[in-house]
Structure 1
Amino acid sequence: MRRICLTLPTDRACPDTIAALGAEAGYAADHAGVEVAVLILDSCPPAVRAAHAAVVRRLPAHPRVTVHHLDEAAQRDFLTRALTRSGAAKPDLLLDLLLPDGLSYGACTDRAFLIAAALGCASVHRRDSDSRYQVLDGRTVFPVHHELASLGRRAADAAAGVTATDLPADCRDRRVAMTGASFIGELSVDIAEMRAADPDAYRDVVGLWAPAHWSAAAKRDLADESFRGAGTTPFTTDHSLLTLVDPMRVDMCNIAFHGVHERVPLPPARDTIGSDYFLIHLVHDARLPGVLHNRHIVNYHTGERRTGTGFRAYQLRFVKFLLSMLYFHAVYDGMAAAGDTLLDADGRVRPDAVAALARESTGLDRTENTERLAAVDTAYRRLGGRYADVADLLAGRRDRLLDEARDDMADFALLTEAWEPLIAAARTTPLTAPPGQPR
């Protein structure tokens, strides 16, 4: 029987989300005849973890659903043993990339990928703690409904289970590597306050994630479209499209991967939003089939991002995202040019090709990023108040931020080079150390 991993990485209190995740797991087991490993990677303080554990204990028992609730100590123990088994040349550095002392959106999902391999799961289905499911006529709208209908199947066979198909004919013998949808509700990036305060400043700043050579009009259009997901219209009826999925149409709170996540990891950049979206681009550029559906998740923002400390931290992550784009755009361009050559003879992504593009990008001239920082400084000082305080913080860290954006891509190349043997090792590494063996 096929086993899947339904995962929730979290560093905030989210008891309702955990309960809803348990319900989705039960739905998957009942409606698709699969075994479900629910994986909660919990980086919360002890009291919050204890509250989460209480929710886990109350989840309805199901013969084909197993819940794994792991704190960071348990995650570290598993990673250490898997890294040792993999024979990695720099296990301590890789451990630091996978479980850093700080926030990393990519690393937390990479840990889910590795643990899913240890649990024998064929696919990974990710949700976020600051989101919830839609409800129609009293029934919860679970994204896993579409994910399990198509994921991992030969595209030509999956075509019978979708509403429509526009996949190129020469891709139809490839397997569906990704299934996803987006969200409705609040912006995915918590910057609506900036848009309300000064729409022009908002467009100037958000437009900075576009390639530098784009026209001012194109950057404005990108800013107007960015982070809005599927808007605000609620779900009414199912629609699914077998296609080469446009990365702008899906979100990492509502995504599932088959195969590709075992070939290439997500970038483990610290304190950088958007660092977990790389595989969405890779699936598209390698022309791997995907399914785009409309079971959108409801996005909302928790209050800690709007406190003084939380606001500064979140703005720093946002600016680091803008700086990362110098390197990501170069890699995306390289992947788009490579196209089918990103795949081996068996139709699987070639990690060496991705790692080479990432490493090559680290030699780019940084002038574009110094200009990005200058533009952010101008906009934030115009906004004034606590945005001006963030501008002061950024000015004091200018050189460090420029270095970190480059070094993050070098770290990604390193992790990509080590990823295949690490996944192989994870498959044979017990989730918990056997009795009598050192942890």
Structure 2
Amino acid sequence: MRGRRVCLAVPTNRECAATLTEVVAEAEYAREQFGAEVHLLVLDSSAHYAGHAEVLSAATHVWHLDEAAQRDFLVRVIKAAGVAKPDLMLDLMLPGALSYGACTNRAFLIAAALGCASVHRRDSDLYFQTYEGAKVFPIHAELLALGRPARAAVATEVRLDPALGDLPVALVGGSFVGDMSVDIEDIRGHEGYFDLVSLWAAPGTDEAGKRALVEESFTGSPAYDGERSVLDVVDPMRVDMHNIAFAGLHERVPLPPATDTIGSDYFLIHVAHRAQLPAVVHNRHIVNFHTAERKTDAGFLAYQMRFAKFILSMYYFHFIYERMTGDDPAGIAEIARASTWQPREHNEAQIDRAEQAYRRLGGRFAGVADLIRERREPLLAEARRDIDDFVLLLEAWPALIAAARGTAVQ
């Protein structure tokens, strides 16, 4: 792994100097301990660019890009790729609304432009655990396995089918400690919690399955108490997108560019699972925390509406997950397109159940119920249109990656 060029990426739309300080230290650790050439990429859509730049000035190989710089890069890549509907493609890669998938897709393209063998993603609302006086950096477990043939990957336990041993490790990930990954901790003891969270279960899930899903959802893992890692095919419930790294897979398949929703950026984890790609799951979990902005009235309402749209999106994603068998973007595009042909009645019932669940929770959640009722038709239409957009991006992705490899970042 010495001399390997990797991209450590942090997308942000908020003030996060403390998190960036932690990630700068992680990059330095990877250089010192592994000899890796770490390119630290910060995609900065916040109003705090100058403060972030000050923190990043201490690091080497830094790419700190505001939205104007990101747009300039994307325009050049899209032109070089010769894709149909370039204006629409630019909007899918850099939408005006919040998109967890789109910001990570930009990191994937920029990493390709930088010649990086892997992308290691962190979020802007995290810090790292400390154990016996030292920071617990996820990149340690990632660089021991990512991109290596599975038989040569370093893990404390191997469960992988030996027949898969020659395949490269496509994914290394961990989970989190601290606040729930979805900000619904305040209602976890409420009798209506099950009604709401169970809505993201796959159609046809029985009551026992829903209760197991609700118990496990969004809750994190135990604190680090010594190194543990498992080489196997990934269990999507065991890893989170704020503590993950990809090699190869992200250049074959993009993330859904859906806006104003959560969960869409977890798509590649499911691809790795369904395609039976070797992966390592480790216990170097990050510490997740909720920002103060999310607790404001506006922040609370926006976040809960993203959760409501996530429930609607899962109607399509469950269809895709159940039918995927590989990581070919054309095959996934075909399945995704077919998912939009499903009858709309299921999601019409789901959005009504979501409204009822929020209303039952009462208090400020009643305002979420009111907004769901008001935006019922647009939400249903947007959830389907997001999949149509994903199909377009899947079809264009090979050309975009190829073009990015020949495009200067700045």
User: Normalising by the residue count of structure 2, what TM-score does the alignment of the two structures yield?
Assistant: 0.98
Gaps of 5+ in 2: none
Q: Which residue type is aligned with residue 380 of structure 1?
A: Y
Counterpart Cα distance in 1 of 2:82 and 2:379: 32
Counterpart Cα distance in 1 of 2:105 and 2:145: 23
Q: Which residue type is aligned with residue 311 of structure 1?
A: F
Q: Does 1:133 align with 2:135?
A: no
Counterpart Cα distance in 2 of 1:299 and 1:320: 22
Q: Does 1:43 align with 2:36?
A: no
Q: Deviations over 1:85-128 (max 9, x none)?
A: 00111111010011000100000000000000011100000001
Is the partner of 1:252 in helix, strand or coil?
Answer: coil
Task: Write the mapping of 1:263-302 to structure 2, written as runs, cut at 5 A.
Answer: 263-302=252-291
State which of 350, 354, 358 in structure 1 corresponds to 2:332: 354
Aligned partners of 1:204 and 1:220 also within 8 Å = no
In the alignment, what sits opposite 1:248? 237
State which of 230, 235, 239 in structure 1 corresponds to 2:224: 235
Q: Which residue type is aligned with residue 181 of structure 1?
A: G
Task: Write the mapping of 1:10-409 to structure 2, written as runs, cut at 5 A.
Answer: 10-45=12-47, 48-57=48-57, 59=58, 61=59, 65-158=60-153, 161-196=154-189, 198=190, 200-230=191-221, 233-335=222-324, 338=325, 342=326, 349-409=327-387
Counterpart Cα distance in 2 of 1:32 and 1:354: 36
Counterpart Cα distance in 1 of 2:352 and 2:377: 12
Give 1:386 deviation, angstroms: 1.6
State which of 6, 9, 17 in structure 1 corresponds to 2:8: 6
Give 1:366 deviation, angstroms: 1.4
Give 1:384 deviation, angstroms: 1.7
Counterpart Cα distance in 1 of 2:211 and 2:353: 14
Gaps of 5+ in 1: 343-348, 433-439
Q: Which residue type is aligned with residue 333 of structure 1?
A: E
Counterpart Cα distance in 2 of 1:242 and 1:225: 22
Deviates more, 1:261-270 or 1:371-380: 371-380
Provide runs of 4+ in structure 1 moved above 3 Å: none
Counterpart Cα distance in 2 of 1:239 and 1:29: 22
Deviates more, 1:122-131 or 1:359-368: 359-368
Q: CA RMSD in A?
A: 0.9
Counterpart Cα distance in 2 of 1:146 and 1:263: 23
Is the partner of 1:408 in helix, strand or coil?
Answer: helix
Aligned partners of 1:188 and 1:228 also within 8 Å = yes
Counterpart Cα distance in 2 of 1:179 and 1:51: 31
Give 1:50 deviation, angstroms: 1.2
